[in-house]
Amino acid sequence: MLLLQLIVNGLVAGAIYALMALGFAVIYNATRIFHLAHGAVYAVGGYIFYALAIQLKVDPLVAFVLVVPATALVGAAIEALVYRPARGRGAGLFALFIISLGLLVFMQNLLSFLFGGDTKSVWPGALPSYELGGIVVTPYHIAVVVVCLIVFPLVQWFVTRTRTGKAIQALSSNRELADVVGVDVPRLYLVVFALGSGLAGIAAALLSIDLGVNPGMAFTVITFAAISVIIGGVGHLPGAAFGGFLLGLLQSLAVWFLPLAWQDVVVYGLLFVFLLLRPQGLFGQRLITRQV
Amino acid sequence: MRRLAAGGLLAALLGVTACAPTAGAPTGSAPAPSKPAPANPQAQAPASAPAQAPAQPEQEPYKIGGTFVMSGGQAEFSRRQLIAGMQMAIDELNEAGGISGHKLASVYEDSRGDPGAAVAAMRKLVEVDKVPVMQSIYTFIVFAQMPVAEETKTVVFAPSVEHPELTTRSQWTARAALNSIDNALVMADFIAKTLGYKRMVIIHEDQEGVTSQLKPFTEKYTQELGGQIVGQEAYKQGDTDFRNHIAKLRGLNAEFLWVIGANSVDKPRVIKQVRESGWNIAVGTQAPFEDPEVLAVGGSALDGVVFTTSTFTPEFADRFNKKYGYPPDNIAAKHYDGMMITAEAIRRGGYSGEGIRQALNQITEIDGGQGKLVNNGQREWKPSPVFKMVKNGQFVAYQP
């Protein structure tokens, strides 16, 4: 029974990494910006959810739905007001990475200034729990599963079936070529930032139900999201999500034979192994083959 | 591009250091003083103790340093309790005229919970602000600062650090708390004798100040009191998901879960997730725990949780509450007492590291925020342990 419980715990933790990784990958694949401020957008999403659901007493479901466009807007604003002007002044990818890091820390401190540094609980006290065949789940677990079952196919459909999605794929494959064939690259950048940031908003709202919000919530999640993308394979969206689930699952299953303090060692150990033996990630090779 | 990169780095640095306090935050620039009620040190003053000079308000202030975690998830806890306690003492001392005509001025720096950053923050306090004495917290931080304390002859008063070797590893450290062995032995007795539980599990923070109490606790609980520790799991500061810890320990048929950690916010999270997992085990923990944020995070899941702490006087609690608008944790009283003892040491030994260090050994007892504290001869002023519990969302004295 312990094994099954660990699998459930791992999949739920992995789902949050997967949502974050997918958003991070959408932005990275199309723009090549190592968008660490994605973590800040995630934290902003958590606070928007808290402000709506707790401070303004908006129905939590409505608040959850509103977080998505709100974080999408924040993400698009970062592209329009920070990255685009920086690129216009000749900033390369490394400069954008540093700007992104600065933005992450700045936004974190801004949240601390606006809301205080303490943890704000969205649900004080224990969530109700249900036992299903010896496995204990909470409404949080169920919400994560339901949301993932809706969001992942929806993103896949959007990217593979819609005109904008195909343009994003084209942009991810070859920016110059996409430009030549008439893809509106600046507009598409706004779309990918909005899409990726909306996914971060979903993850933030979900996790804030479980853990509440605090300004420091971004760092671990953005680190694990970036690792998930590397493990899944840079350039491959389903791979990023798969990497997130794999990370959560391995982190959880490691408990079976290791002390819990070693959970993170498993994550970084896995990253090390991938960087050493398969730097293209699990699905990266397939993409390269397809490109060739 | 270089300019942009430099700008980004600058923004990052500004962000790291610009952890602005929120409304009601105690700050270094002494806010409006409350009713003055300074501690009453009752040591036998040596004949050579310098006489108190007449008040000379125009004199340079005596700067007192503090390195606390002032950014990230623990910043609010530092502000609400540690800095609040220390600053309250400084405000009260200033209200009473300062020390020998010198007002006290606090200078706080962010240790970021990182030993390297804490050492850099201490060097800034010592070399730029020229402070001869400072407060600090967390074993791993203070141990990293010890060599600088020795080198620069700076007293590091770590009022709430409980590591048993804090004051034996360096002559430049002091505390106003029970050490972790005291706490562990008291808790072992409480679990086995008062509560009557003989089979327990532990979830603890993986930090030296916390783990140092596990060995004496285990020896007493298992060998002397006949108890059994059937499982224990560690977590790191900043962890938020404890479900795997719980899943692993849950099947071990324990009667009691002891959750121990150095800061207050992790523990209610652990307990909340214990209850969410449907595990109806009796739970105990330890200070720091008596903080409003603990109740905000844990809510009704904390009802029935027992914890060890040390007492603080109703007068201290009343003054603190009036000043800040929320009740103190006992850790605030420790940092208050640490500052009051420091002030007395400055009065006796003068405003220098060496003078303060020597004077600390002469202060035998003090009536502080924690009540009467007695120096054990090793610069440790020990309060009395008490047991409290959470009942209907309130911290109350333990009731069986």
Task: List, for residues B116-174, the tens digit of each pLDDT value.
Answer: 999 999 999 999 999 999 999 998 899 999 999 999 999 999 999 988 889 999 999 99
pLDDT of B3 strictly over 60: no
Please tell me the least confidently modeled range out of A14-23, A208-217, B225-234: A208-217
- Please check whether residue A212 touches B, CB under 8 A: yes
| Minimal Cβ distance to B11: which of A102, A212, A261 | A102
CA distances from A284 to A178, A223, A272, A273, A276 (A): 21, 20, 16, 15, 14
Report the distance separating Cα B291 and Cα B85, nearest Å.
13
The reply to whether residue A106 touches residue B4, judged by beta carbons under 8 angstroms, is no
The tens digit of pLDDT for each residue in A139-157 reads: 888 999 899 999 999 999 9
Please tell me the least confidently modeled range out of A171-180, B129-138, B179-188: A171-180
pLDDT at residue number A68: 96
Report the distance separating Cα B336 and Cα B270, nearest Å.
29
The reply to whether residue A121 touches residue B296, judged by beta carbons under 8 angstroms, is yes
Q: Give the mean pLDDT of A21-33.
A: 93
Residues of B in contact with A103 (CB under 8 A): 8, 11
Closest CA to A139 of A149, A130, A152: A130
The reply to whether residue B76 touches residue A260, judged by beta carbons under 8 angstroms, is no
Confidence of residue B344 (pLDDT cuts 50, 70, 90): very high
Report the distance separating Cα B305 and Cα B284, nearest Å.
5
Q: Give the mean pLDDT of B336-347.
A: 97
Q: Give the mean pLDDT of A169-188.
A: 85
The tens digit of pLDDT for each residue in A51-61 reads: 999 999 999 99
pLDDT at residue number A109: 86
Q: Give the mean pLDDT of A31-41.
A: 94
- Please check whether residue B392 touches A, CB under 8 A: no
Q: Regarding predicted confidence, which is higher, A134 or A44?
A: A44
| Minimal Cβ distance to B79: which of A92, A117, A260 | A117
pLDDT at residue number B254: 96
pLDDT of A290 strictly over 90: no
The reply to whether residue A106 touches residue B11, judged by beta carbons under 8 angstroms, is yes
ipTM of the complex: 0.76
Supply the pTM of this predicted model: 0.73
pLDDT at residue number A259: 76
pLDDT at residue number B359: 96
| Minimal Cβ distance to A125: which of B16, B251, B301 | B301
Confidence of residue A204 (pLDDT cuts 50, 70, 90): very high
- Given a contact cutoff of 8 angstroms between Cβ atoms, the answer to whether A281 and A230 are in contact is yes
Q: Give the mean pLDDT of A222-248.
A: 90
pLDDT at residue number A129: 86
Confidence of residue A254 (pLDDT cuts 50, 70, 90): confident
The tens digit of pLDDT for each residue in A101-116 reads: 999 999 988 998 888 7
- Please check whether residue A91 touches B, CB under 8 A: yes
On average, the pLDDT of chain A sits at: 89
On average, the pLDDT of chain B sits at: 84
Residues of A in contact with B16 (CB under 8 A): 105, 109
**Which pair of tokens denotes residue A169?**
């794929």
A288 CA: distance to closest CA in chain B (Å): 31
Closest CA to A244 of A283, A215, A208, A214: A283
CA distances from A278 to A51, A285, B172 (A): 43, 9, 51
Residues of A in contact with B298 (CB under 8 A): 124-125
The reply to whether residue B236 touches residue A264, judged by beta carbons under 8 angstroms, is yes
pLDDT at residue number B58: 64
The reply to whether residue B247 touches residue A126, judged by beta carbons under 8 angstroms, is no
Residues of A in contact with B245 (CB under 8 A): 255, 260
pLDDT of B348 strictly over 70: yes
- Given a contact cutoff of 8 angstroms between Cβ atoms, the answer to whether A177 and A194 are in contact is no
A130 CA: distance to closest CA in chain B (Å): 8
pLDDT at residue number B290: 83
DSSP-assigned letter for residue A260: G
Which backbone phi and psi does B253 adopt, to 5 degrees?
55, 40
Task: Give the three-state DSSP class for A137.
Answer: strand
Q: Give the mean pLDDT of A74-82.
A: 97
CB within 8 Å of chain B, chain A residues 133-172 = 136, 138
The reply to whether residue B244 touches residue A106, judged by beta carbons under 8 angstroms, is no
DSSP-assigned letter for residue A80: I
Q: Regarding predicted confidence, which is higher, B137 or A122?
A: B137
Q: Regarding predicted confidence, which is higher, A291 or B253?
A: B253
The tens digit of pLDDT for each residue in B288-312 reads: 888 888 888 888 899 999 998 888 8
The reply to whether residue A121 touches residue B241, judged by beta carbons under 8 angstroms, is no
Report the distance separating Cα A171 and Cα A165, nearest Å.
10
pLDDT of B64 strictly over 50: yes
Report the distance separating Cα A172 and Cα B155, nearest Å.
58
Among A161-165, B49-53, B233-237, the range with the most confident prediction by mean pLDDT is: A161-165
Closest CA to A126 of B205, B286, B297, B292: B297
Confidence of residue A264 (pLDDT cuts 50, 70, 90): confident
B306 CA: distance to closest CA in chain A (Å): 16
B208 CA: distance to closest CA in chain A (Å): 14
pLDDT at residue number A212: 85
| Minimal Cβ distance to A126: which of B80, B241, B272 | B272
Q: What is the largest CA-CA distance in chain B?
A: 68
pLDDT of B31 strictly over 50: no
